[in-house]
Structure 1
Amino acid sequence: MTIEVTHELLVVEDRRPQARRRRWEQKYRIVLLVADSFAAVAAAIVIHAAYDRWAVALVLPPTWIVTMLAHRSYDRSAMGLGTEEFRRVLRGAAVLPALAAGTYWLLTHDVGLLHDMTMAAAPVAAIALPVRYALRRRLHRRWARGRDRSTTLLVGPSRGVADLVAVLRRGGAQELQVAGVCLSDPENAAEVRALGLPVLGSVGDMNDVVRALAVGTVVALPAPEFDASVLRRMSWTAAVQDVDFLLAPMLTDVSASRLAVRPTNGIPLVRIHAPSLSRISRLPKELLDRSLAAALLVFLALPMLLIALIVRLDSSGPALFRQQRAGRYGDHFTMLKFRTMRPDSEAHRAELAHLNENSDGLLFKVKQDPRVTRVGSVLRRTSLDELPQLLNVVRGHMSLVGPRPPLPEEVEEYTPEVKRRLLVKPGLTGLWQVSGRSDLPWEEAVRLDLGYVDNWSMSLDLTILARTGSAVVRGTGAY
């Protein structure tokens, strides 16, 4: 298996790929510069209104742009990525007072300017972040419509291609637009064609395919045939064609924040940080969970009392449904929900086994369950039946965000791998809820839960909480 990269090719192809460079990158970078300038000017106006000094208006905009450049917030690696882009903006805002202090001691000795630049850090970040969020959403909408996307060639084995394509397709709008595949095992091309992707040749055809399709990105997947020399030649070919060359990791569902390059004797090794599962690292989550749940209980007390009354009037039986569930480390607790079924529903479960929508796993879900009451159907569709679980959050049995709380008998059937779900508290909402809930197959629900456990962060929790509202409105998988 060889990929020819000759001197003649370097000479002939040296300038031609410039015509294929994505124009949206330059435009987006300019828009970001304008947006950051606007944020700095707006923050300067705020400071002027508060302290009646104009000097900050002259100093803040260029300083803010330089700070953003220093933190590489205009690099293509951060464009449209959300969390990483926002993190760089916040780092820049944190550094701004230090830069002001350095300028004060070394140059100006102007106490007023030092004060104003320090005070400007908060408003400039508060303005820049929502503006960048709006720009990112606009870029994602363009990607969703098929615009400004990078024509992508996948290179590697059929199994790896299938796995990567599955991840790309369930991840929503993203930059890569797979145009075709060059296989290291062409004999398995049927498996890739079944995914709707054209097989354009073997690995040795990569150079011709990149040139013919004006490919912007090449993604190489792990394969036994790809030793260091083969990957190096691939990267040379991509460099000659002036396209991005990406290496897909063997591990999937690992967040970028857990990956770091660690050079050792000139070899760039990739370090995977351990998940943040210690009690100390999760203390802020505990505080947020309990305080926010308590506040919501106070705010929703009257609506919950009204729902309880309606449940009692609609059918005989208690307003609350109590059920044993498995929490962190498999400890049992009593989970609370508004009752949505007849009181004798558990006795009739065996009769409905043939209607189970999740026959591929341990979950039991029936779309048209005859045991569900009239009010219960509405409560399930709107997720209002989950509100009493706020009491479980306040008591410390559950979190606002986490894996689905399993039944004890489900836990008994778990494999050692699936039992990792029990390393964190179950959640009132989670990746499973914002991604389809009961419509998800068992394997996908497990993958999402394990991904949450391994990649947990406060920013991930906040993202899931922000997505929960729209998921509830859509009602996807709620039955």
Structure 2
Amino acid sequence: MTIEPVTHERYVARHRTLGVRRRRWERKYRVVLLVADAVAAAVAAFVIHGAYGRWSVALAMPPAWILAMCAYRAYDRSALGLGTEEYRRVLRGAVALPAMAACAYWWFAHDHELFHDMMIAVLPAAVLCLACRFVLRIRLHRRWSRDRDRSSALLVGPSHSVVELVAALRRGGTQELQVTGVCLTDPVNSAAVSSLGIPVRGGLDDVPAVIHTTGSNTVLVLPAAEIDSTVLRRLSWIAAAEGADFLLAPVVADIASARLVTRPYNAVPLLHLRAPALSKTRRLPKEVLDRVVAGSLLLLLAPLLAVVALRVRLDSPGPVLFRQLRVGRNGNQFTMFKFRTMREDAEDYREELAHLNENSDGLLFKMKEDPRITRAGSTLRRYSLDELPQLINVLNGDMSLVGPRPPLPEEVSAYTSEVRRRLLVKPGLTGLWQVSGRSDLPWDEAVRLDLGYVENWSMGMDVAILLRTAPAVMRGTGAY
């Protein structure tokens, strides 16, 4: 298979004929962002003027804010509509603004109130900008869910990699890329891709014609032995000539973008994969926050805990709390607390019900209609109220607010070496597994989510999971 190089004449002719394919929503999105940022900065300027009567600082605030957003690439197409990365750039620009004011004071203004005023103005401006971006992102994702303003993508690579990537994209919910065709390096295996409802439009040689005829504005290339550096370079030339974005999928999967950094060595760009953040120093803020929040919640929820305990006591004979040995970080065992939701003799009947296990593809034992569950227990499980006593485990340091599901010792004994990586962090009261479907998820998917959390942990990820927990609990999906 050969890919012909793109000549200068062909490149110029194609651009004159077709122009560069740009996503139409980008221009609108940027304009709205600029207007929103200008309004936010203007509101902050009025705050300054209303509080201190300083017109000079108030007039300088809007252009200074826009300049800071541009400097930290808050309008860059690589961050538009992505959420976390977009918010991060706004916050970096907001933090930099007082520093810019300090420099201006030192070199030009000699106004000792300048730094103070900018500090006051940054807070309302940042809050308004983040709120606007949040609303705009929701609207944009709704349009994507209706197949509007999406980027038509042509995938190029081997069939097995294409199948894995499509599955990963579909797992992630609504996103910008819409796969409209595939060019395979192994066309003989096209049936596996066609079964996903995606048309196979040819092989590697057909890529230039397919980009042109389908109007694809994104070309996504997956690793393959047939795609060496020469072929890859020529594919990038073809995509550029057609005005399409050119993306490369890394060999590793389920890796957060924050861990991938391009690092040049002697003009050769290499992809640096940062190690997971597993050290005690990196996790110290999480440890402190876990215990502070757990202690505060135990005090705040004390009346609710008392009511639930009374309900469990009156509903069926047995203790209020269910104690069970679980495995924590580095394989250390601890006693986990939950409100009892089953009959006192529930474990005696587990062998008799083993053939009804809903999770027969893995190590978990789950039943949608488990006869051992009490009347009160059914309600507690549906809304995860039975797990509130685990706040005691968080306060004791055995668990975290966010982390993988705490496994049983017999489950851990059956773990493979790969699955045992779940034990590198503390188990959590909630986690990716819990907010993504809980017991409805197959075992392999639950493991993938837990390993993804371990590999890509960050405080931002913990906050995102905590924000998703309440809606997941109210839906009650997979809670049985």
Same fold (TM over 0.5): yes
Shift of 1:7: 4.4
1:57 offset after TM fit, Å? 2.0
1:15 and 1:351 map into 2 onto residues whose CA distance is 74
Q: Could you say which residue in structure 1 is the equivalent of 2:238? A: 237
What's the counterpart of residue 327 of structure 1?
Answer: 328
State the alpha-carbon separation in 1 of the partners of residues 48 and 283 from structure 2: 36
In the alignment, the residues of structure 1 paired with residue 404 and residue 451 of structure 2 have an alpha-carbon distance, to the nearest angstrom, of: 8
Q: Percent identity?
A: 65
Matches within 5 A, 1:45-56: 45-56=46-57
In the TM superposition, what whole-angstrom CA distance separates every residue of 1:7-31 from its partner, at most 9, and x where no partner exists? 4532431223336321111110111
**1:43 and 1:127 in contact (8 A); partners too:** no
Match of 2:275 in 1: 274
Question: Which residue pairs with 1:2 in the alignment?
Answer: 2
Aligned to 1:97: 98
Residues 155-203 of structure 1, C-alpha deviation per residue, up to 9 Å, x if partnerless?
0000000110011001011110000110000000000011111101101
TM superposition score normalised by structure 1: 0.98
Q: Where does residue 338 of structure 1 map in the other structure?
A: 339
Q: Distance in 1 between matches of 2:105 and 2:476?
A: 56
1:422-473 Cα shifts (integer Å, max 9, x gaps): 0100000000011111011111100100000010000000000000011011
Aligned residue for 1:78, secondary structure, equals coil
Between the aligned partners of 2:16 and 2:85, the Cα distance in structure 1 is 32
2:119 alignment partner, SS class: helix
Larger mean CA deviation between 223-232 and 50-59 belongs to: 50-59
Secondary structure at 1:107 match in 2: helix
1:360-405, CA deviations, whole angstroms, 9 ceiling, x for partnerless residues?
1111111111111111111111111111101110011100000000
The letter of the residue matching 2:41 is: A
Q: Distance in 2 between matches of 1:330 and 1:50?
A: 57
SS of aligned partner of 1:111: coil
Report the CA distance between 1:127 and its aligned residue. 2.0
- Counterpart secondary structure, 1:15: helix
Distance 1:7 1:463 in 2: 47
User: Quick one: which amino acid aligns to residue 356 of structure 1?
Assistant: N
> Match for residue 145 of structure 1?
146
Cα deviations across residues 69-94 of structure 1 (Å, max 9, x unaligned)? 11111010011111111111111111
**Residue matched to 2:264:** 263
| 1:282 counterpart SS class | helix
For residues 28-427 of structure 1, what are the structure 2 equivalents within 5 Å? 28-427=29-428
Q: 1:181, 1:199 within 8 Å by CA — same for their partners in 2?
A: yes
Q: Residue 55 of structure 1 contacts residue 113 of structure 1 at CA under 8 Å; is this kept in 2?
A: no
Q: Is the 8 A contact 1:10 1:240 kept in 2?
A: yes
- TM-score, reference length from structure 2: 0.98
**Counterpart contact for 1:100–1:118, Cα < 8 Å:** no
* CA-to-aligned-CA distance 1:276-296 (integer Å, 9 cap, x gap): 111111011011111111111
Partners of 2:20 and 2:242 within 8 A in 1: no
**SS of residue in 2 equivalent to 1:160:** helix
Q: In 2, Cα distance between the equivalents of 1:116 and 1:430?
A: 41
In structure 1, distance between residues paired with 2:186 and 2:329: 44
Q: CA RMSD in A?
A: 1.2
Aligned residue number for residue 433 of structure 1: 434
Q: Partner of 2:367: helix, strand, or coil? A: coil
Name stretches of at least 5 consecutive residues in structure 1 with no aligned partner: none
3-state DSSP of counterpart to 2:429:
strand
Q: 1:428-467 to 2 correspondence within 5 Å? A: 428-467=429-468
What is the CA-CA distance between 1:117 and the residue it aligns to?
2.0
The question of whether the paired residues in 2 share the 8 Å contact of 1:341 and 1:373 is answered with yes
Q: Distance in 1 between matches of 2:293 and 2:153?
A: 44
Instruction: Give 3-state SS (helix, strand or coil) of 1:20's partner.
Output: coil
Per-residue CA distance 1:74-118 (angstroms, 9 max, x = gap): 010011111111111111111111211222222222333343123
Instruction: Report the Cα distance in structure 2 between the residues aligned to 1:56 and 1:474, rounded to whole angstroms.
Output: 49
AA in 2 matched with 1:29: R
Q: Given that residues 440 and 477 in structure 2 are in contact (C-alpha distance below 8 angstroms), is that contact kept between their aligned partners in structure 1? A: yes
Question: What runs of 5+ residues in structure 2 fail to find an aligned partner?
Answer: none
Q: Which amino acid aligns with 1:317?
A: G
Task: Name the stretch that deviates more: 81-90 or 59-68.
Answer: 81-90
SS in 2 for 1:281: helix
The amino acid that maps onto 1:12 is A
Distance 1:333 1:19 in 2: 60
| Aligned residues between the structures | 479
Structure 2 counterpart SS, 1:47: helix
